[in-house]
Amino acid sequence: MGFNDTLNGMRRSNTDRIVFGICGGLAQATGTPVWIWRAAFVLLAIFGGAGVVTYLVLWIFMPPPPPA
């Protein structure tokens, strides 16, 4: 699976979500544990606020999960 396929298949998570499911969706798309994405966003938010901005941009542009 290529990079474009990964981007096109990326969706917010319906099951692994704390706020909007962004980290869960990234974890599903990349095959990495969700805690890594959550830690990355927290660290980016603490050091400069880029994590908050990135999370909000992903919330706007990442499609919602398909209906169950």
Q: Which of the two residues, 54 and 7, has the higher pLDDT score?
A: 54
* Domain locations in the chain as residue ranges: 3-61
pLDDT for 36: 94
pTM, whole model, 2 decimals?
A: 0.79
How far from the centroid of its chain's Cα atoms is residue 55's Cα?
Answer: 7
pLDDT band at 7, cuts 50/70/90? low
pLDDT tens digits, 9-62? 678 888 877 888 898 889 888 889 999 999 999 999 998 888 889 889 999 988
